[in-house]
Structure 1
């Protein structure tokens, strides 16, 4: 027992010696200066994904304020560095999730200065705002401006392209959905994850994807924990293909040949839905087009070209050729009569007094003048009242003579009647007086 007590005493002496050596190996604690550490933030609010923009300033007040420091919060080391009085540091972009955190700066001290810790500083991390935009493209890849009108059953090839963007920095990730909202409810057109550019792959429509009526197309970006969600909408109106009625009217049921341009053919097209059809109308007779026009306000008019149709009766067809929302239709209720071109016949006598028996000296000439243009053909009958006295063939270019003793002594009213041809209408000249006297009287008159 006595031996054990001796050994225990020796151990106590050795331990005491070691403690003294450890303490005296460095500067005496009484020789170190105290320190005070401060922490300030550029802003008490920061955005997730952009924390590297928030500058934290650490200041150490001490005799020899050098050494390392670090900023902690949320159970994490947020940034660190070396200090000589004042220093700054920034967090990494995604160091903290959204929320409110208490931050402190820890100064590690140095051989001359004791460590110290700043007071608490509050930092609120918010979701970074985002914006969502959407573009509509037609089947040819061109951007559709405004709110488009599509035809039910013909939507295929149209597509929606949506993209989400951060308003501070960076490109959002996560998912996006494009939906269609109508009076009947909401349905999903497509959804998926955003690519590296923040885009949702093209969302294409098929035939009859959208119902008839007003469709509110909405692209919704869902938050990925860094960027706040956002949405945008476009309105697409889908209309049914509608039946139409075409009505043709004529300014006159008849028009003279060579004056067809004065005839006005008017067509009006209406549809069952009360809209205004667009497109073109063609007016024809049989397989021959007469004229055509483009609708304006659902109506339009045109006139045939001069001399397009020979004189006769022509059943007309006005054909509306349709557009993307309106079906073709036609009207066959009208008939246009092209009358022969009017003429004027002028009679000239070589003399207005002739002797009986010498009537063959009387020469009648005529001129047939068309109302518009052209050259009448056929023949002209010279008449005494209703009795024909001679005939002139226009193509021969000469007149005609009476026969001797053809007319008795007396006074006569002579007219010339153009008998018309396939193009030119008949006409009769004003009456010309002609007197047949006895031969003797004629000689006395000549004296």
Structure 2
């Protein structure tokens, strides 16, 4: 095979990869297959009928299929050996007169998924230097493996049948999960290029989640009925206004998690000795935001509701007091537009970054008088179990705690 044929082969659900295997096998008298998982016998049977010598090396563990192995392991000119759970190689070598002339290395197992259905990436090699190295690797693995015995198969059948029963149940659960996960979500090729502010929000979310994981256990002990994101939101106020007001700015160093956890305990003690604003936040989230903007109520949102929501946002409270901003928000946007945009922001299955981008710049969703801070605020207030509240106070506190999320 000419060297120009070295290339990437991507299995996209077509028969291209199968055709490659068939094309190479037609020139070969011996085929050596190293595959972590084996289940598809179609090509093995074709090659066996064509009088090819086949060496098949597998991992004897599910999802390698007992029934597939049982149907081919005793065929003439088919030799099957196995390794244990650590074996994860996938490469297929094609020989003529004991000399390798082509090899495929990649992600495909010798399964229906690996050959026909999955998204796989494989490399076709014909360079003699690499072919000799791969041949030596196969010989080493083959020499360290075990010849498959009928008694091995009988013992494996019990394991495989148990795995299969469990896998069928798990498959149903995963398919349901995947349907919900991807329903209504755009593929990358269809997405607009999101603005810097929306990208930054995603980085902020990741930084907050690291802090959340550090303080989560303590938060649940101190505030068992309040979502951790809501507790953290007032922790930002304490970090920025109270803690940094009388201490040197935090330098994290190697004991970052311990320092943050200690600071969070100080915050909890302060909060409970003061007005316990954290409890008030939880009440507002439940009785104002989550109630008025619940999925089954949002279509009935009124102008008064819209004003109430706006004026209770961190970003809207001061503007409402000084400039009557809540009323302007409710009058400059039709209630139908507010419902549509809020419903999209809160309940669309699009990635959050894209939803924020569209509320911020896309005329189809952009609301007058509704700032970027309001967009980032709102989703956390309505769904505090799922999303953090973001505003300038939160931005500053996260940076004070040593997280740089602004480089996007």
TM-score by length of 2: 0.19
More strand by share: 1
More helix by share: 2
**Which of structures 1 and 2 has the larger relative contact order (alpha carbons within 8 angstroms, sep 6+)?**
2
Task: Answer with 1 or 2: which has the greater Rg.
Answer: 1
